[in-house]
Amino acid sequence: MGIARQCETQQTHYLRRDIAYNTANVASGVLIGTVPAGSRLMHVRVWVDTAFNAGTTNVLQGGTTGTGTNLFTSTDAAPATVGVKTPAAAAGQSTGLVITQDQDLYVSFTQTGTAATTGAATVIVEFVPLTNGG
C-alpha cells in the first residue's frame, strides 16, 4: 500500500504517472499513487505523447489492481493514437465515486503481435479529499 497524499487546505488533488511501453513491470501494473480514504474521484485524463506501436494490440488501462480496468480501459485511452484522452467511467466506477479506504491506483500496458518499440503516456487522476480540516 502506498502513502496517501493529502494537502492541508481545501483544493483539488491529483496523482500523475508517466508510463512507457518499456516501463519496468508495466505488464503487471505500475502504481500511479494512493488516494486517501474519504476522497471523491473526479476525473481521469490520459495524455498519449507517443503512440504505442505493438503489431496487433496495444492495451493501456488503469484500475485498483495491477491490471484492473475499473479506472479506465484501453478503448478509452486509445494508446495507438497521440492526443488527450478523457476516459468514460468504466464498469464499477463513476465520476464522483467516494473512496472508502486508502486506495492504490495502477496503470498497465500489455501488447500482442510484434513488440512495441515506441509508446509514452501520462495518466492523471484528479480527486478531492472530503475529510481534511482545511
What pLDDT score was predicted for residue 7? 67
Residues with pLDDT less than 50, the chain = 91-92, 133-134
117-126 pLDDT per residue, tens: 999 999 999 9
Q: How many helices and strands in the chain, by DSSP H and E?
A: 1, 8
Q: Give the integer Cα–Cα distance in Å for 82 and 59.
A: 14
Q: What is the pTM of this model?
A: 0.86
What pLDDT score was predicted for residue 4? 76
What pLDDT score was predicted for residue 129? 85
Closest C-alpha among 106, 72, 66, 96 to residue 86: 72
What pLDDT score was predicted for residue 131? 66
For the chain, domains (ranges, CATH) are 13-129 (2.60.120)
What pLDDT score was predicted for residue 134? 41
